[in-house]
Amino acid sequence: MNTTPDGRPIPPAHADERAMLDAWLDFHRATLALKCSGLEEDQLRLAAASPSSMTLLGLVQHMAVVERNWFQRIFAGQDVSPVFGETNLDGFSLRPEGGLDEALAVWQAEVARGRELIADAALDDSGRLSEREAGHVGDRSVSLRWIMVHMIEEYARHNGHADLIREQIDGVTGE
C-alpha cells in the first residue's frame, strides 16, 4: 500500500466497495493520530478554537466512544459500558490524570475491536438503533455500509476540527 509523505495509507484509486470503505476509514483514523503527533500534553488539552472547548485529546477520546458505539453496540448488538464512564458519555471531557498515550491506547483498542467484529460481515448486514437514534435515521436498522460511510463522515468532520485546532496551536496544517 502506498502512503502519503507523512505516513498515512493512501486509499486505492480502484478497489471493490468494501476495500474502498475500509481504506478511507483507515486513512481518516491515521489523520486523527497525525494531528496529535509531536505535541506536548498541555497543547493536546488546549481548546484553541474559541469559544469551543474542543481539544485534540478530547477528539481522540470522542472517537473511541464513537467506534465502540457504532461497531460494538449498534452493529454487533453488544451491551457495552461507556468508554469513559457515565459522566463522560461523549468522551470530550478531559481527566487530569488521562493523557494522550492512554487515550490513543483506548482508541486503538476500540478500532481493533470494531475491525474484528466486522471482518467477516457483509456490507448489507445490519445493526439495530435505539428508538431515539432511529428517529434521526428514519429506521431501526442500519447496514454496515451505512455505518462505515457514517464513520468516514464522522472522522472527516472531526479531522477538520483537529486541523483548525492544530493550526492554532503551532501553525501546522495538513491535507
From 36-40, 89-93, 129-133, 151-155, the region with the lowest mean pLDDT: 129-133
- Per residue in 8-20, pLDDT tens? 999 999 999 999 9
**What is the residue-wise DSSP string for 23-40?**
HHHHHHHHHHHHHHTT--
Quick one: average pLDDT of 40-66? 94
Please list, in sequence order, all residues whose beta carbon lies within 8 angstroms of the beta carbon of residue 12, skipping any fewer than 6 positions away: 1, 19, 20, 23
- Per residue in 75-107, pLDDT tens? 999 999 999 999 999 999 998 888 999 999 999
Q: Find out whether 77 and 71 touch, Cβ atoms under 8 Å.
A: no
The C-alpha cell at 77 is: 448488538
CA 11 to chain centre: 17
Q: How far apart are CA 67 and CA 120, in angstroms?
A: 17
Whether pLDDT at 134 is above 70: yes
With 0.75 as the threshold, say if the pTM is over it.
yes
DSSP collapsed to 3 states, 95-123: CCCCCHHHHHHHHHHHHHHHHHHHCCCCC
Strands 126-128 and 141-143: antiparallel
Enumerate the β-bridge partners of residue 126: 143
Q: How far apart are CA 145 and CA 126, in angstroms?
A: 9
Q: Find out whether 46 and 55 touch, Cβ atoms under 8 Å.
A: yes
Whether pLDDT at 174 is above 80: no
In degrees and rounded to multiples of 5, residue 31 shows phi and psi of -65, -45
